[in-house]
Amino acid sequence: MVKPFMPQLVYFEPKALDYPLGQQLFEKFTELGKEIRYTTSHNQVRNLPGENDFQRYRIAKSTLVVGLRKTLKFDTSKPSAEYAIPFATGCMGHCHYCYLQTTMGSKPYIRTYVNVDEILEAAQNYMDERAPEITRFEASCTSDIVGIDHLTHTLKRAIEYFGQTDLGRLRFVTKFSHVDHLLDAKHNGRTRFRFSMNADYVIKYFEPGTSRLAERIEAAVKVAHAGYPLGFIIAPIYLFEGWQEGYRELFERLSHDLPDDTKGDITFELIQHRFTKPAKKVIQKNYPMTKLELDEEKRRYKWGKYGIGKYIYPKDEEAEMKETLFEYIHTYFPEGKIEYFT
Ligand code: SF4
């Protein structure tokens, strides 16, 4: 069982202590006897212990920086939401194919922002601008927000904030099962709670440091009972020996455990495994023993933005994967909605 995240090392930006959440976290970590350091800005977080890049990377992933979100201009997050809402950056998980490895480069530590009111105020301005249209916010573009929320309860506040708006919607996705504190949040059906699910084999070999399949399913059941709109992102869909059976078992277990009356509203997002050349390099550096298939010859090249193309499965394998998973969803979740396959 994966325990809830607890940082080994905590940095505070001094201004963070002017905010109630900053104070609370300071008191909590002091009581727990954590090593606390100060930094004028997260960019100054240097001298992390460790003898080489490999060790420093692992230590960084268990380091928390408590600071302020300075840019309150949100990035867009099409197509699943209008905006990315920034509550945290970085993640304690060690998924071999994590996109954060390339986007966060040499700064893989986790940052949490304590100026939550200002972030929610900015969200309110975006909603006001778009009224009477609905505005959707995605909270997991730069982190696995649930993985850290048992410490901060920021996500819980956001869920309740959007719960009392008419035009705001919140969504996020997680690979963690530590959801208990979110179950009584007054979400009002305005938050879609998504879990990243995969075949047991894929989670076991490629997603160390995250909750196991059985734990994620158990958490999804609790979330369904709490009345949240629920969704599953099946990603990355990865072809391994016996994948058909592995994915069938996933949908069978989900369907067996979830309460029947919640199945009608479940959304599915399907994303096949892909990699770019720069990502391959970082993966091989950070996880040199990985069994992940990263052979360009076995893939199809798809042109991408900024000249960085990605390697996806060849057409015939892609078609077979798509057909198989669609069939499973139609069988086990006849009323489920498949939002996209990519
Ligand atoms: Fe990356 Fe998500 Fe895995 Fe965290 S849980 S390491 S954000 S893929």
Cis peptide before 79 (omega within 30 of 0): yes
199: left (phi over 0), alpha (psi -120 to 50) or beta: beta
Lowest-confidence pick of 3-7, 85-89, 105-109: 105-109
User: Higher confidence at residue 86 or residue 50?
Assistant: 86
pLDDT at 105 over 80: no
Structure tokens at 228: 């949240």
Please choose from 58, 61, 91, 215 the residue to mutate so as to test ligand 1's pocket, defined by most ligand atoms within 8 A of CB. 91
Q: Whose CA is nearest to atom 6 of ligand 1?
A: 93
pLDDT at 110 over 90: yes
Give the mean pLDDT of 204-218.
98
Q: Is 286 in the pocket of ligand 1 (CB under 6 A)?
A: no
Q: Is 274 in the pocket of ligand 1 (CB under 6 A)?
A: no
Which domains are assigned to the chain? 7-67 (3.40.50.12110), 69-107+115-341 (3.80.30.30)
pLDDT at 46 over 90: no
Q: Is 91 in the pocket of ligand 1 (CB under 6 A)?
A: yes
132-150, pLDDT tens digit by residue?
999 999 999 999 999 999 9
Q: Is 175 in the pocket of ligand 1 (CB under 6 A)?
A: yes
| Ligand 1 closest atom vs CA 100 | 1
Q: Model pTM?
A: 0.96
Please choose from 98, 143, 172, 202 the residue to mutate so as to test ligand 1's pocket, defined by most ligand atoms within 8 A of CB. 98
pLDDT above 70 coverage of the chain, percent: 100
pLDDT at position 205: 98
Q: What DSSP letter does each residue of 260-328 carry, written as one string?
A: GGGGGG-EEEEEE--EEHHHHHHHHHH-TT------GGGSEEE--GGG--EEE--HHHHHHHHHHHHHH
